[in-house]
Amino acid sequence: MKHIKSSRLNLYLQLIRWDRPAGWLLLLWPTLGALWVAAGGFPGWHLLTVFVLGTILMRSAGCCINDVADRDLDRYVKRTAQRPVTTGVISVKEALGVGAVLALMALGLVLTTNVMTLVLSFVALFVTLAYPYTKRFIAMPQAVLGVAFGMGIPMAFSAVRHELTALTWVLMLGNLFWVLAYDTEYAMVDRDDDLKIGIKTSAITLGQWDVPVVMMCYFFYIGFWALALMQYAKGALFWIAIGVTWVQVLWHYSLIRGRSQEGCFKAFRLNHWLGLTMLLGIVLGC
C-alpha cells in the first residue's frame, strides 16, 4: 500500500512538472519584480509567501489543465507523448481533481489579500483555462500565454497599492514580449510535429522570421522594463543587471540561429536566468 501511494505521488509530481522548475520560475521572477517595485522595496513576508506559493500552485494547476486539453495532441509529439494523462496512467477526472485542489489552495492564499487581487485571480484563472484551446484557433497562442503568465504583475500591484497604475501595464506589456520570445523558442522545438497535427504556434506562423522576431521581442521586453524602472534605479547595479540580460540575449541568439531542436530547447530552459537577473537588478538597484 505504501509503495502504491508513493508511486501515485510520483505520477502527480510528474503531472505538475515538479522536476522542471523552469516553468514556474518564468512566472515567479517577473511577479516578484513587480511586487518589489509596487512596495518600493521588500514587500513583507506575508505577500512574499502568498505570491511565491501562489505562483507555484497555479502553474502546477495549469499543467493539469493543459495536459487534459492536449491529451489527444500530445501523443503525436515526441517530447510530450509520455505525459501521464496522455498515456492514461492518470485519468482525465483525476488530473482535473488534482488541478482543482491546487487552484483552491492558491485561492486560499489570495483570500488573505484584498478584493481587487481576488477578482484579478479569477481573470487569471479564466485565461489559464482558455489558453490550451487557443492553439486550435489563434495564429500566435503564445500571446494568450503571455497574458496568463503576466497576471501576477497586476495582482502584485493590487495587493500592495490597491490600485493599478500605468507602470503596471507597461511592465505587463514588457513581460508579454518576453513570453513571446521564450515560448516561440519552445515552439520551434516541436514545429515539425505541430505541423503534422495541425495546431497553431508562433514558430509556424512566423516561419523564417522566427529568429528575428524572437530577438525583437527580447529587445522590447528589456527596453520596456528598463525605461519603466529608470526613475526607480538608485545605483549602478540595476544597469549592470540590464547589461547582463543583454549578454544572455546574445547567447540565446547563438543557440537558436541554427534552429536546432537542442539549441532552441536549451535557450528556452535558460530563460529563467534572464528573469532572475532582471529581478536581482530590481532588488539590489532600485
- Burial bucket for residue 151 (CB in 10 Å: 0-12, 13-18, 19+): buried
Per-residue three-class SS string for 251-272: HHHHHHCCCCHHHHHHHHHHHH
**Mean pLDDT computed over 72-80:** 82
Convert the pLDDT of each residue in 125-171 to its tens digit: 999 999 989 988 899 999 999 999 999 999 999 999 999 999 999 99
**Long-range contacts for 145-148 (Cβ within 8 Å, ≥24 apart)?**
145/179, 145/183, 146/175, 146/176, 146/177, 146/178, 146/179, 146/180, 146/183, 147/176, 148/62, 148/124
Convert the pLDDT of each residue in 211-254 to its tens digit: 999 999 999 999 999 999 999 888 899 999 999 999 999 999 99
Domains identified in the chain and CATH numbers: 2-285 (1.10.357.140)
Which distant-in-sequence residues (6+ apart) come within 8 Å of 69 by Cβ? 132, 133
pTM of the model: 0.94
- 210 pLDDT band, cuts 50/70/90, is very high
